[in-house]
Copies of this chain bind each other. A is one copy, B any other.
Amino acid sequence: MMSTPTNARAAGPTRDQNDLAERFAAIRRSTLDLTESLSAEDQQIQAFPEASPTKWHLAHTTWFFEAFILQDVAPSYRSFHDDFSELFNSYYEGMGPRHPRAARGALSRPTLGEVEAYRRHVDDAVQALLGRPCTSETLRRVELGLHHEQQHQELILTDILANFSLNPLRPAWRERTGTGSPPVSSPGWVEIAGGVHEVGADPSAFHFDNEGPRHQTLLPPYSLRQTLVTNLEVVGFIEEGGYRTPSLWLSDGIVWVRRHGVEAPRYWRRGSEGWTTFTLYGEQRLDPHAPAVHLSGYEAEAIATWLGARLPTEYEWEVAARQSGLSPQQGRWLGNGLTQPSATVPDHARELCGLWGEVWEWTRSAYSPYPGYRPPVGALGEYNGKFMCNQWVLRGGSCASPPGHLRASYRNFFYPAQTWQFSGLRLAKEVK
């Protein structure tokens, strides 16, 4: 789900070490802000193997700076604890043995207090490092560590939601803010011309390795719908028996539906007064006009088919995003006070609403290497490359993504059966 930047020059403005030190302090602090309402016990639990404990995220992101920077370039650095590498290495085979993912929730030790001390210890060492002249490779890795930290900020939220969802007491992470979404009457479609387009990362700015190399692709003309698929549309799918209609589904999708008895999106419940859904604000009435979320790739595919359309490819999404003229800064991200998707009414006929933020948009593109892609040498080469099979690409970011983290070339990826992320869909279709 992450990737390493391949381009040292990307560090451009961040070579200003002071700026980087300030951003380091701000981003590290904003991670802790997310955990303010959580007790030590809340930060301990792991409801299922994929949803790591909050405390583990706090420690793992810290280990990342320790293992890939401090232990490499700060000769006088003393590790906080010899066993932490085993405990907090996520998946880097090249960095030694790892505690099994499914058993992260069993680590009551180190305590939350000790993890906080670990963070301070590493923060101090990174700041000391940044106070002295650094190589561009060091700066590049600090930059990478900050983007990595931001990825885990989103995971802290998706995981605490999953962890809380098993509790009959229905705990809330925060009090609800925001109001219901407005209806969008008859959303239009935005047509994009075919031809040869540039895709992939701008080599002059920070990006993960999986976003490059930049290259050309040939697309036929296509259309994207202005607005994301809504909860109300999913209710229609359910009511027309969508989950019981094999012809709407990929074969692996209907197998998934049957094996798990899926009858509605994750977190939905049908009560006597209609649908509710479990959110970071606790159990809430379903917001009919909000973008549907926590969908598997299979559900996204089936719902698109039922709506007479299809999922876009990742290139279609990227080209449209570049042409939209919209900037990620305008997106609906974490930190605008929102952690539930919420609909936007388009201003004009060509606006693509919810392009940045709201929900990650499933594409029909399998997650594969771009032409000419080579993973970086060393353990950081495991950041992205080894995951390039069997997963699907998602684009655009979500209401739980931190602001400043996303861009048009950003590739997120999950297995099509996974649903605990803020994942939804936008419709595409051919132009006739």
Q: A111 contacts the other chain (Cβ, under 8 Å)?
A: yes
Q: A107 contacts the other chain (Cβ, under 8 Å)?
A: yes
For residue A106, which residues in chain B have a CB less than 8 angstroms away from its CB?
45-47, 163, 166-167
A302 to B214, CA, bound (A): 25
For residue A39, which residues in chain B have a CB less than 8 angstroms away from its CB?
40, 108, 111
For residue A246, which residues in chain B have a CB less than 8 angstroms away from its CB?
93-94
Question: With A40-B40, A247-B94 as given contacts, are A364 and B372 in contact (CB-CB < 8 Å)?
Answer: no
Most chain B CB within a 10 A radius of its CB, from A108, A216, A254: A108
Q: How far is the CB of A308 from chain B (nearest CB, A)?
A: 11
Q: CB within 8 A of A103: which of B166, B196, B388? A: B166
Within 8 A of B (CB), among A99-123: 99, 103, 105-112
Q: A12 contacts the other chain (Cβ, under 8 Å)?
A: no
For residue A93, which residues in chain B have a CB less than 8 angstroms away from its CB?
246-247, 254
Q: CB within 8 A of A109: which of B42, B108, B196, B366? A: B42
Q: How far is the CB of A374 from chain B (nearest CB, A)?
A: 9
Question: With A168-B99, A249-B386, A366-B366 as given contacts, are A44 and B41 in contact (CB-CB < 8 Å)?
Answer: yes
Q: A335 contacts the other chain (Cβ, under 8 Å)?
A: no
Please tell me how many copies of the chain the complex holds: 4
Q: CB within 8 A of A390: which of B46, B107, B364, B390? A: B390
**A387 close to B251 (CB less than 8 A):** yes
**B416 close to A389 (CB less than 8 A):** yes
For residue A171, which residues in chain B have a CB less than 8 angstroms away from its CB?
108-109
Q: How far is the CB of A107 from chain B (nearest CB, A)?
A: 6
Q: A174 contacts the other chain (Cβ, under 8 Å)?
A: no
Q: How far is the CB of A188 from chain B (nearest CB, A)?
A: 22
The segment from A28-36, A83-91, A325-333, A401-409 that touches chain B is A83-91
Question: With A252-B390, A366-B366, A430-B372 as given contacts, are A108 and B44 in contact (CB-CB < 8 Å)?
Answer: yes
Q: A424 contacts the other chain (Cβ, under 8 Å)?
A: no
Q: How far is the CB of A366 from chain B (nearest CB, A)?
A: 3
Q: A368 contacts the other chain (Cβ, under 8 Å)?
A: yes
Q: A204 contacts the other chain (Cβ, under 8 Å)?
A: no
Per CB-CB distance, the 6 closest pairs between chain A and chain B, nearest first, are A366-B366, A93-B246, A41-B108, A218-B218, A251-B386, A42-B108
Q: What are 15 sample pairs from A and B whose C-beta atoms fall under 8 A apart?
A: A39-B40, A39-B108, A41-B44, A45-B105, A45-B107, A46-B105, A47-B103, A86-B168, A107-B167, A108-B163, A108-B164, A108-B171, A250-B387, A252-B390, A301-B389
* Partner-B contacts on A (CB < 8 A): 39-42, 44-47, 55, 83, 86-87, 91, 93-94, 99, 103, 105-112, 163-164, 166-169, 171, 196, 215-220, 246-247, 249-254, 297, 301, 364-366, 368-369, 371-372, 381-382, 386-390, 392, 416, 430
